[in-house]
Every structure is written in structure tokens, then in C-alpha cells.
Amino acid sequence: VSIAKKDLTESVRRAGELLDILEKQIDAGFKDQESIQPGDPRLVVLHGMCSNPKGALTRFLTTLGGPAVPAMAPAGVAIAAPATAAIDFGASVVPPPAAPKPPDAGEGVSFSFDEFLTSVGMAMLNAQRQLDERSSDYLKESQQQPHVLPAIFRVPKLSASMKFAFEKRDDKKMNLVFYSAGSQQSTQHQQEIEFDIVSAPAPAEAMAELRQKSPRVDLILDPKQRDTIIAAARGAKLSKPTSKLPDDFEAGRCLLIALSAAAQYLMIYADTKQDGNVGMWRLTAGEPDRLEVIYRFDKKSADAEVSFQVLVNELADRQRDFLDSLRA
Amino acid sequence: VPEFPTIAELPETYRSLAEAFREGGLAIARADIPSLVKSQLGVPPVLLLREAVIRTRFYIAARADKVIFFFVRREGAERVVLDASIEFRLTPNEFTSPPLTMLPEAIAHSAVPPPFLVLEPSAADQQEFSFALGVPADRVLVLELRAGTLAVFEPESEDDARIAWRLRGANAFSRLDLEPAGEEAAEVFVSLARTVGQWVGRGFEDGPEIPLDITAVATRAPVLHEIFHSICDAWARAYNEAAVSSGEFLPDYEVQDYRGSVVLRLKPDGTVARNDDDDPFQLLLTIRIGTRDGVPRSRIAVGPPDFLTAGALRDSFLVALNGPGGFDELAGQLNIDDDDGWLRLRSFLLAAFPSALVFRVKRKTSDGGTDRDTDAIIYSGIIGGREASLAVRADFIVSGGAAAGRRVEYVPGSLKVIYSSLPVGSTVEPKRDLTRYGLRLLASMENWIGVLR
């Protein structure tokens, strides 16, 4: 398959159209589904269509002038749910002009090899993102319908095969050149590449590295360490009278974060009864322990503070449940 | 005259391809990282560049002072001397330990000689064929063919070449005349063609291998050695580059199924032909390189690329030749002019069609992707209850790209029967074309075995 840059762009656009058709098919299936009761054989039809949209793809490819879609990618290729879609770009990037075009003078379009691979990869990625959005909608809609299988849709594999010419760059690397004129193509497109881009589970090491590198705040969850810090806070010397902890302070719901300075901790606590009561303190452990208020718990504040209170309470509830599970 | 890179710069091209593959793969993986971060799934899928097969074709020309290469044929550029290719697969591989850096000098080379070449004939055989040919045994090439054993002396010289033949089951070698060649010599060359056809049909790159001292190639064929070294170096650099770790988001990659090939166009004396006027004989040299037990190894094989034993292209030649015009010419040259003779000839051709051999004996100047070739076609089969052979020579116009899609047209009036033992029509004594091609093939093998020795 030989493509010029404009054709590649066009192919990406058409891949998007391809997915639009797939979405419309799925939408049509959803509409049908509203009238379907559990056990209705049409459910099978719907699922079959999702997992094998060959008819729509074939029709679409026919309009492109390309060959029919080959067999579906084998099951087990990084498919997160039973429904899959396979798009073989090797078939679909054929750039048949809809209307006769004037003959090209034979100017080639040049890509670096890595740039070219990346472009094709991005096309697949964009297609997948469209599918992800639709999957999300589908999951939301299917939550209310217990007889519908929850599913997400993945493009499991992209296979490409193309011919091109080589052109040497100044830095001695090779560029891939695609000619669109017939004679140039036949005489100069003598190099060939086939490649697969697959949707595969992320490597465990990659996930671990990602988690390690991603910014986050760790709450102190060790019960013993927490008990020590809370006890210190309760008996600490207050910087001001208003620095004291609330009377009905519930230790298990206080968020504790170690600060970068040694023996210093951030304490965040929110009221569950009265809107707007949320406080923040800094505890410095030492002789004596010192508790300083950063934000007063009972300070009258704007309504916006309630949002922060809600966030703290959500975290606090989950933390309390977690700590309870450790004690159990 | 455009400045072309020297063959020494070829390996860097393949290193840069492997590097670009890794960088492209990394860019794709990185672009998908945001989906990992926001995913609520345990181990979300990401896009990975899994595998690539790269097939490259280039041209090599020898100038007075250096060997150059280029990827695109251009008008007015160097006259093409050698067609070459390199193909390989980049595929994920989990190295159990950091991969070693490969050096071309560390490759253990081996060769795959044709299985019918007798590299070490017995002392008794040496004595026999030496006596029959009247030359020292160490200057004789010996081949074990289907029908018997062939001993050849100086096949590169049409005037001085001598052959001796021992039919399977017979006791002694007997020398056969080549000027002119008789029916027995013709049948020996038909047997040679059939044996070579079987070998090519099975894949001449496969078979038992023997160690190869590459320094012998450097001594005997320095230009070939320079090309050979570049192809090995290209493997090493691509291998080393592919194995560079790209971090946790990409697997390590390995170069596999690496195969370089060069179509050698050789003059009768074994030197490289400069143009078509040198009447070049083509041999395909292939080099496959990989690692086994951590050791880089190569397998080198040489075979005739213009030898068609099956497939669409061979069938195209046969169909083109046996159209109404070609068949009439054939029947005319065999002096067959009655219905019975026509019927018997056509029946023989149809029966011999599946095993017929087609090989190019002369290539004429290519013009815009169209070749005018002279090909020999050998039919063997049973007719009238006995084995018989028919060999013809004819010109064809071959156009188009890939082998399966090439168009083949017979050039009317070019057919010539070069040998016929059919019991229908006239018997045709073997013409020089048959023996010439056979001797050229034998001379090429002799050069090849000279390198192996």
C-alpha cells in the first residue's frame, strides 16, 4: 500500500468515520435493545454485532475501494471485555481517489521512520479514544439494564503493510518517501515494511514505575504511628487557645500527613454535623510537642468551604473504614 | 555524477532503522500513558508496537576505487552490477541477561553446500575419473546426480571442458564428447538440470552446513568479501540497537530472521560482470544471521535464482510458449506434420508440464521494468513407453513487478529446439546452448566449492 502524507491524513479521518459507523451500529443496537426483554434471542444478535462489525466495515471499505476486512483478530489479544472490533489499516489505508485527479508530477512526501510509525500509532490511539468515550456511555446506560452485558470496546490490533522509497537525510538517517504518481511508485517504492500495533496489558514494571513517579500524598495509616501522633496532638502545647482540637474529635477520621521537615505532621479534620467546620493544624513533635493552627476549625467561612469539608469527610470515612478493617 | 555512499556506510542505515523503530514505539507507548493514569482498571491495556518486518532492496556497483550502494535506481547513475536485499524482523524478546554486544568479526560462519556436490570423493573414484578425463583428480568437480555420477574438468572453458559419467550401478567412468555433444552427454545435462531443480525446489538455503573460513573469501573475492562484511555488520548494528532498553514501557527487541542476499552476476571466469555484454550468469548468495546459544552464527548459501521449478511465474512461461504460435513452431521444427504426431506431442507436453524446468540463460537490457530474456525449458516424461526429453530455447518479454504478477509473452519466431529424444518427429542432436548453460552452472559451482575448500 502506498500513501502520501495527505492520504495518510485522509486515512486517519476515514478511520474516524469508520468508528462513527461502528458507533451508529452500536447505537442502533442499543435502541433495539430498549424493547428487548431478557432471554430474547435478539440479545445474541446485538452481542454478535458488537463483536463482529464486519458487515459495516466491509461496506465502508467497499466505498473506499479497499478489500474486505480480513478475519477478526484472534481472541485473547488484550481484550478487556467480550466485545471487540478489528480494523486492519493494511486494508483501509488504500487511498482510492473518489474522483479522477490530475496526474501528480511525482513529488514524494517524506517522513522519518519514527515519525511515520508514531503517526500511524496516533491514528490508532485517536480511534481508541473515541471508542473509550463510547464505551463509557455504554457502561453507564447498561448499568440500569441487568440483562445487558457490560462491555468496553477495544481496537485490539492494527496491521499495516506498505511500500516506500528511501531517502538519505543530512544526518545520515533514512527518510521514508511516499510517491503518489504511478510510475514513480512502481520504480521507486522498492522498500517494504509490515508492522503491528497491538493493545496489550501494560507491563507490570511500567505500572509500578508510573505509580512511583506520579505525584501523590500519602496518608499515615499505620495504627500505632497514628496513635502516637494523635496522643501528642492532644497533649501538645497550643500556640494559641484557638489551636485546640474540636471537643468531639474522632481520631480515626483525622487525616495525617507527614511533612518533609522531620517530626512535623499535617492534621486535617472536618465536622460531620455542621457545614463549614473544617480545620488544619501542624504538629511539631518534641519537648514539648507543639500544635499550631493553620486554618481554624470553627471559623465562619464562605459556602465554598463546604466543598473542601465534603472532600475531607469522604477521605476520612474511607480512612476510618480502612483502619477498622485493620483492627478487625 | 552523484556521490553515492560506500558499502561501508550501509550498516549504519540498518542501525538507524532499528533505532527509529524503538523511538517510534516509545512515542506510541508514551502517548498512551495518560490512559494508564486515569484508568480505573487493574492493568489497563496500552498500545504497543509489537513487531515489524522490514524488507529493503538496494543496488551495489563496483567502481575502480570503491564499492558503492544506492537504494533508488536513477537514470544516468552507475550501471547496476549487483541487486541486493536485506530483510529482518524486529520482535520483542525478554533477555534473561543483558544481551551481548555483537561484532561482525565474532560471527561463526558456515556454508550450506549443494547436497549433490561430492566434496571428498573416495580414492578409488578419484583414480577412476582422473584416468577417464586425463587430468589430476584435485582439479575435478564431482556431482552425484539422480542418474549417476558426473566428473567435470574446467567447465568455465567451453573449448577445454571435459566431462566423465558413471551411470548409477555401472563400474567405471567414461568420458563423453562435448564437441559435439551426443545424446548421452545431453541426457547427463538434463539429469543435472533436474537435480538442480529438485535442490532449488526444496530451498537451496536449507541443508547440512559446514564451517566456512571467511578469510578464504577475502582472499579469493575481495569485493564480495567487502559486501559480505557490510551485510554482517548491518546485522550486528541493528541487533545491538534493537536490544537497547527503552525503559519499562517497551519490551526489549531482537532482530530475528535476518537475511541478506546478493544476486551475483558473474562472467564465465567467475569475476563480476560489468554489463549484459559480459554474458553474465546469475547466482544468488544468501546470508542468514542469528544467534544460537548466545553465539552469532551465519549460514551462507548459493543457488541459481533464475531456475524456476514451480509457481505462477514458471507456469506463465509454459503457457506463453505453448500458445498456438509457439506450439506450431515447435511441431514444425520437429517435422511433425500429421494429426497423430501433433496429438502425441501435445500429450507429452501436457504430461511433462508439472515437472518442466524453466531457466534464464541470457538476460537482455532491461528497459522500463521490461526484460527480454532467453530461457531454456526442459520437459521430461514418458512417451511411447520410454523416457524422453525435450529441451527448447525461446525469447520472452517479461514485464511487471512481483514474481506472481509478472506478465510473460513469447516472442514469436524465437523458439529453437536444442535437444529432443522424443520418438515422434525428428530427433534433434543437442545444441551448444544446452551444454553451455550446463557448463556455466558447473563452473559457478566450482567457484563456490573453491571458496568452501
Q: Of B16, B28, B56, which is closest to A117 when you measure between CB atoms?
A: B28
| pLDDT digit string, tens, across residues A286-320 | 889 999 999 998 887 777 888 899 999 999 999 99
**Grid coordinates 530427433 are at which residue?**
B427
Does A165 contact B21 at a Cβ distance shorter than 8 Å? Answer: no
pLDDT bin (cut points 50, 70, 90) of residue A77 is very low
Residue % of chain A over a pLDDT of 70: 63
Which pLDDT value is given to residue A106?
54
Determine the distance in angstroms separating the CA of B209 from the nearest CA of chain A, rounded to an integer: 30
* Per-residue model confidence (pLDDT) at position B74: 60
Give me the pLDDT at residue B159, please. 83
Question: Nearest residue on chain B to A154, judged by CA atoms?
Answer: B45
User: Which residues in A lie closer than 8 A to residue B33 (C-beta atoms)?
Assistant: 210
Distance from the Cα of B76 to chain A's closest Cα (Å) equals 15
Looking at residue A283, its pLDDT comes to 95
Which of B13, B33, B40, B49 would best serve as a mutation to test chain A binding (most A beta carbons within 10 A)?
Answer: B49
Note the pLDDT of residue B42.
Answer: 55
Provide the pLDDT confidence category of residue A21 given band limits of 50, 70 and 90: low
For residues B443, B445, B448, B453, the Cα torsion angle rounded to the nearest 10 degrees is: -100
Interchain proximity A121–B31, CB inside 8 Å: yes
Q: What is the pLDDT of residue A233?
A: 94
SS3 A130: helix
Residue with cell 503457457: B319
pLDDT band at A58 (very low <50, low <70, confident <90, very high): very low
Looking at CA atoms only, how far is residue A254 from chain B in angstroms?
A: 26
In tens, the pLDDT along A139-195 reads: 888 787 777 777 777 778 888 888 888 877 666 677 888 776 565 555 677 788 998
Q: What's the mean pLDDT in A41-58?
A: 34
Number of C-beta neighbours around residue B430 at 10 A? 26
Taking contacts as CB-CB distances below 8 angstroms, the residues of chain B near A154 are 45
Interface test with chain B among A1, A79, A118, by most B beta carbons within 10 Å: A118
Of B425 and A258, the one with more pLDDT? A258
The predicted structure's pLDDT at residue A282: 95
Tens place of pLDDT for every residue, chain B, 453 residues?
A: 457 788 899 999 999 999 999 888 888 888 877 777 666 555 567 888 889 999 999 988 877 778 888 887 665 555 667 889 999 999 988 666 777 889 999 999 999 988 898 988 999 999 999 999 999 998 899 999 988 999 999 988 878 889 999 999 888 899 988 877 788 888 888 889 889 888 888 888 888 888 888 887 777 778 888 899 999 999 999 999 998 887 777 778 899 999 999 988 777 666 777 666 676 778 889 999 999 888 999 999 988 888 888 888 899 999 999 887 899 999 999 999 899 999 999 999 999 999 999 988 887 656 555 678 889 999 999 888 888 999 999 999 988 765 556 788 999 999 999 889 898 888 777 777 778 888 888 887 777 776 655
Alpha-carbon distances, residue A52 vs A29, A68, A86, A278, B167 (angstroms): 13, 13, 8, 54, 64
Task: To the nearest 10°, report the CA torsion of B74, B80, B83, B88.
Answer: -40
Q: Which residue of A has its CA nearest to B56?
A: A191
Q: Which of A116, A209, A214 sits opposite B37 (nearest CB)?
A: A214
- At A90 the pLDDT is 29
Q: Is the pLDDT of residue A61 over 50?
A: no
Per-residue confidence (pLDDT) for residue B132, from 0 to 100 = 92
What nine digits make up the cell of B367?
528497459
Instruction: Supply φ then ψ for residue B311, to 5 degrees.
Output: 105, 175
- List, as ranges, residues 126-155 from A with C-beta within 8 Å of B: 128-129, 132, 154
- Per CB-CB distance under 8 Å, the chain B contacts of A172 are 9, 12, 16
Instruction: Look up the ipTM and state it.
Output: 0.79
User: What residues in chain B have their Cβ under 8 A from chain A's Cβ atoms?
Assistant: 5, 9, 12-13, 16-17, 19-21, 23-25, 27-28, 31-33, 35-37, 41, 43-57, 71-73, 247-249, 251, 369, 401
Residues A218-234, mean pLDDT to the nearest whole number: 93
Residues of A in contact with B94 (CB under 8 A): none
